[in-house]
Structure 1
Amino acid sequence: MLPSALLRVTEGVTPYFCFLLFVVTLGPLQFGFHLAELNAPQDIITCHSGQAPNFLNSDDWPLCIPMSEAQFATVSSVFTVGGLVGALVAGPYCSRYGRLLAMEMTALLFIAGSIAETFAMTISILAIGRILNGLGAGAATVIVPLYISEVAPAQSRGFFGTFTQITVNIGILFTQTLGYFLSRGSDWRYILSTGMWLGAVQCIGLFFVPESPVWIFASSKSPIAFQKAHRTLERIRGKGANLAAEEAQWSGAARSAEEQSLLGQGATRLDGCDDSEGVVAIAPPSPRPAAAALQGAKKPTVGFFGLVTDPSYRPALIAVIGIMFAQQVCGINSVIMYSVSLLNGMLPLNSAVLTIIISAANLITTMLSAPLPDRLGRKTCLLLSVVGQGISSFLLAFSIVYSVKILSAISVLTFVAFFAVGLGPVPFILASELVGQEAVGATQSWALGANYVATFLVAQFFPLINSALNAKLGGAGWVYFLFAFFAVLSATFFWFYVPETNGKKNADEVWGKTTRVD
């Protein structure tokens, strides 16, 4: 007998759904890959390892590209600038043209960006490649959680929502491991070229991925939209699956008895073939009243700026922006993007090896923590995560300042482990749960836009602030006291401004009738 929790998670999960999950989460995986791809080979790429920017006779590629610390910080951080633009554009784009086409565009951006990075001979070309990959990453982190939330079984959306963060961590671990073995000579180009192949695999896989059934229904004014969405959902859930409860949520009301009966009767394809594939037209007469009722129940789509001007969405907007800022300003990317150079000589292990261990610990903890948002609740996980990360940050600063190397190593591991408990996966879940379907795309864009602004601030200014504090106060590690302070502020914000969404049927129930105005 399987445990009840496992039965609950696996209910409604088919091999085809698992395939979809694998293909679409290649987008977040590439986000993690490109986020950390310059970490391990930083000194090699920037000519700080002692090698000169000599040219290879065979192809005239430079062994390295001379860069100052500030220039490298800019090359690293422009990834987040691209991510910001991608996140802002992706919401409206996928709401208008569909989740599938938007994911196909991100795959092409990853391929183009990786080509530019691989063959870069100057700082500017390397930066252009980072921007293109950032565009793809920003869009992927908006579209993929949204798509998963729309195709995953309702009772396990929180669990499968964490796969976004899990695959981000797989991408980080993958590129850190490649960096350990290939950070020499011109081999760093093989690290960057791997992004081309990841993008190509996703591009091919997306040919076998259907459009989101929720989007099919919500975006079409056709009377057969419901039937088309039904067929798509049935393909994902399997023949004979009970889809009534899920489909009732699309319009916010149960379907009429008439439409229930229509779905049970014979339907014919518009092209006259059998009904095993394709869009169906209801054969019995008078299907329009039910379709019209469903169509009339839909709320108009809320745009990017409409979310700001409508006061009924303001609490949700404040909550998701605050959560996304907290995810970054607590310092996780100081470890993900700069750990090899930052921790070099400070800890009892080689910093490149420690970075791989850190990435593996982050991945394992994220996977083990996947059921927690559904069991403990989203808000509880956030508070546990930020408090644990704040304590770890304080201990890391203390241990580096006073040269307690064992404590430093432990603190780094707990720092990333507590991030995986809540701050990693939960923001991506909440961004699609705090508002209704009509505002999900715009909310995701605002949330991810805030996330990338915060990521840019950390990526661009962390090395400079770290160097300034070290020079001013003497020694290293002082910057983590600052991250501990941000953790305190974040915990206070979560306590007062972030509601619990676990177990709530919709956004109206999350906020209550006095907060939400329809």
Structure 2
Amino acid sequence: MSSSGLRQCIRDVSPYLILLVAISTLGPLQFGFHLAELNAPQDVVSCRVHQYQSVSSRLSSALSYISSSASRDNSQVATSSALPDCIPMEDAQFAVVSSMFTLGGLAGALGSGPIASAKGRLLAMRLTSLFYIVGSIIETLGASVAMLAIGRIFSGVGAGAATVIVPIYISEVAPPRERGTFGAMTQVSINVGILATQTMGYFLSYGSAWRWILAAGIVIAAVQGFGLLLVPESPAWLAANKSATQARRVLQRIRGKNYDIAEETAAWDDSAVAPEEEGLLDEPSAPGLRRDSNTSKASGKNGGHLGFLEVVRDPLYRPALIAAVGVMCAQQLCGINSIIMYSVSLLRDLLPINSALLTIIISAINLITTVACSPLPDKLGRKTCLLLSIFGQGTSALVLALSILFETKILSAITVLFFVAFFAVGLGPVPFILASELVGQEAVGATQSACLGANYVATFLVAQFFPIINVALNERFGGAGWVYFIFTALAVLCGLFVLWRVPETKGKKDVDEVWGRTRRLD
């Protein structure tokens, strides 16, 4: 960002706006937190305690003081709870527990769009905090595989809804010139959650102390719930569904007393008050398709709000839906969650340093590179960043497979870091903003929900089958690392898909211009 652009950003952004973004992004933060919460303590949770005794013994005095004021030694902490220290699980059972989070996420992603549209963004975000609290409580008190799975389903519902609603809310409260920057905060907050839970896992992976990791989710969700009492409804939603006057008051409060909101609210008197102008994303920088007689027969249904089946059936929107859903699937199929969710157990015996510590380093690099690379989509283009990211992850997967196979430990550790860094270049942030730039406002709600739904399906496939396929390939061919040849092949396929089916949206003034330069939609 140039110095003039930075000064403009400072003028546009009020402290109140920063507070709203900080509170709302606690939702995606918990997505990252719950996604990775079982990674570091996996062997402890599943009763393979002996593998973490060295960490436990080193930290017993400090952790026992924190965990229980009534106990002064580590063994007392481990046995003082009425809950079991661990829950016996095989790899397949652990995979089921992990993947239940993504099934809940799928339900939350598909169901949150209609609620946010009909009842408002604020109510929908408050419901996510409720699901997070319930899920975290069940997980913390879980004494069986079934209880852990049920808790993760509830947490997943909250996560799926949050990853749909929060980007919508942020796009509607952020200044138009800074929407790209603030849009990246969703991915940044996810990475903060991942880093937090991986760090806690490094210190609390012993005895029954892993339950403190899960209990932290209750605290975060409670903070989110109370914080949302300070958050107003989206001005764009108010203008479309309630009162333009009320919407202006809220927007003026968000921008500050001396900020001129006339340009942002110019269209509200004429059309934004009408329900047909209300979409799940209200972003002037990505205006909808022209409403003429040739646009779409479906555009007149549901007050201008199209459902998923209407978007699928309409040839006008189908190419955009395929492109957006394909990119969301590519985000997961290139293998990022094989590292985020299973890196400790996968890399435990393969790398020259403690794998739990390496996971913290990985999460930190993921966060740092996401922040550093957030301007790249606006500078290099969305499609270019996606292709760079996919190529980098595919190459890293190939090198990782070979380095693990030939037991080149230093190279394996370095390659894992590059694997995560390349994810932040494009596959991390771009899929969350692409849907709003590929379709008009009348279809963006259905498209966004479909994209997040596809993302959770792909995440479920990786979470459920990665450890099973990894073990099967290692037993079949001997050695380890064979599964990353599969991710290499998937990266090639994803790269070809992006190259052929995803248009560049950088610098395009509207959706018509995006698709007019690539293919006809009639």
TM-score between both structures, scaled by the size of structure 1:
0.87
The answer on whether the counterparts of 2:49 and 2:206 sit within 8 Å (CA) in structure 1 is no
Opposite residue 156 of structure 2, the aligned amino acid is G
Q: Is 2:404 aligned against 1:400?
A: yes
Q: Is 2:39 aligned against 1:39?
A: yes
What does residue 325 of structure 1 align with?
A: 329
- Quick one: distance in 2 between partners of 1:84 and 1:192? 21
What does residue 497 of structure 1 align with?
A: 501
What does residue 91 of structure 2 align with?
A: 69
Opposite residue 313 of structure 2, the aligned amino acid is T
**Residue-by-residue CA offset, 1:128-186 (whole Å, 9 max, x unaligned):** 10000000000000001111111111112111111111110000000000000000000
What does residue 313 of structure 1 align with?
A: 317
Instruction: For structure 1, list consecutive stretches of 5 or more residues without a partner in the other structure.
Output: 256-295
Of 225, 228, 245, which residue of structure 1 is paired with 2:263?
245
What does residue 125 of structure 2 align with?
A: 103
Q: CA deviation at 1:250?
A: 6.1
Q: Is 2:21 aligned against 1:21?
A: yes
Q: CA deviation at 1:2?
A: 7.5
The answer on whether the counterparts of 1:396 and 1:477 sit within 8 Å (CA) in structure 2 is yes
Instruction: For structure 2, list consecutive stretches of 5 or more residues without a partner in the other structure.
Output: 54-75, 274-299
The answer on whether the counterparts of 2:78 and 2:209 sit within 8 Å (CA) in structure 1 is no
Opposite residue 462 of structure 1, the aligned amino acid is F
- Quick one: distance in 2 between partners of 1:13 and 1:84? 33
- Quick one: distance in 2 between partners of 1:330 and 1:162? 20
Number of aligned residues: 471
Between stretches 412-421 and 312-321, larger displacement belongs to 312-321
What does residue 447 of structure 1 align with?
A: 451
- Quick one: distance in 2 between partners of 1:206 and 1:310? 38
The answer on whether the counterparts of 1:146 and 1:432 sit within 8 Å (CA) in structure 2 is no
Q: 1:56 to 1:339 in 2, by over 3 A?
A: closer
| Residue aligned with 2:413, SS | helix
Opposite residue 46 of structure 2, the aligned amino acid is T
The answer on whether the counterparts of 1:32 and 1:171 sit within 8 Å (CA) in structure 2 is yes
What does residue 357 of structure 1 align with?
A: 361
Q: 1:188 to 1:67 in 2, by over 3 A?
A: same
- Quick one: distance in 2 between partners of 1:187 and 1:246? 51
Opposite residue 28 of structure 1, the aligned amino acid is P
Q: CA deviation at 1:251?
A: 8.6
What does residue 163 of structure 1 align with?
A: 185
The answer on whether the counterparts of 2:338 and 2:462 sit within 8 Å (CA) in structure 1 is yes
Of 167, 185, 205, which residue of structure 2 is paired with 1:145?
167
Q: CA deviation at 1:227?
A: 2.0
Q: 1:227 to 1:495 in 2, by over 3 A?
A: same
Q: 1:254 to 1:183 in 2, by over 3 A?
A: closer
- Quick one: distance in 2 between partners of 1:226 and 1:515? 37
Q: CA deviation at 1:247?
A: 2.6
Q: 1:252 to 1:402 in 2, by over 3 A?
A: farther
- Quick one: distance in 2 between partners of 1:10 and 1:483? 42
What does residue 509 of structure 1 align with?
A: 513
**Residue-by-residue CA offset, 1:32-78 (whole Å, 9 max, x unaligned):** 000000000000000022499x9977542101011111000000000
Q: CA deviation at 1:515?
A: 4.2
Calculate the aligned-residue CA RMSD, in Å. Answer: 2.4
Opposite residue 346 of structure 1, the aligned amino acid is L
Following superposition of structure 1 onto structure 2, how do residues 16-415 of structure 1 map, counting pairs within 5 Å? Answer: 16-50=16-50, 58-220=80-242, 225-248=243-266, 300-415=304-419
Q: Comparing both structures, which one devotes a greater share of its residues to helix?
A: 2
- Quick one: distance in 2 between partners of 1:7 and 1:494? 35
Opposite residue 123 of structure 1, the aligned amino acid is V
The answer on whether the counterparts of 2:240 and 2:272 sit within 8 Å (CA) in structure 1 is no
TM-score between both structures, scaled by the size of structure 2:
0.86
**Residue-by-residue CA offset, 1:476-513 (whole Å, 9 max, x unaligned):** 01111111111111111111111222223333332239
What does residue 58 of structure 2 align with?
A: none
- Quick one: distance in 2 between partners of 1:163 and 1:307? 28
Task: Quote the sequence identity (%).
Answer: 63
Q: CA deviation at 1:437?
A: 2.2
Q: 1:73 to 1:254 in 2, by over 3 A?
A: closer
Opposite residue 389 of structure 1, the aligned amino acid is Q
- Quick one: distance in 2 between partners of 1:376 and 1:250? 33
Between stretches 2-11 and 470-479, larger displacement belongs to 2-11
What does residue 286 of structure 1 align with?
A: none
Of 470, 475, 478, which residue of structure 1 is paired with 2:474?
470
Of 473, 479, 483, which residue of structure 2 is paired with 1:479?
483
Between stretches 400-409 and 448-457, larger displacement belongs to 400-409
The answer on whether the counterparts of 2:85 and 2:207 sit within 8 Å (CA) in structure 1 is yes
| Residue aligned with 1:311, SS | coil
Q: 1:56 to 1:471 in 2, by over 3 A?
A: closer
Between stretches 233-242 and 2-11, larger displacement belongs to 2-11
**Residue-by-residue CA offset, 1:239-284 (whole Å, 9 max, x unaligned):** 23222332346699899xxxxxxxxxxxxxxxxxxxxxxxxxxxxx
The answer on whether the counterparts of 1:110 and 1:195 sit within 8 Å (CA) in structure 2 is yes
- Quick one: distance in 1 between partners of 2:77 and 2:153? 26
- Quick one: distance in 2 between partners of 1:241 and 1:208? 21
Q: CA deviation at 1:212?
A: 1.1
Q: CA deviation at 1:440?
A: 2.3
- Quick one: distance in 2 between partners of 1:447 and 1:413? 27
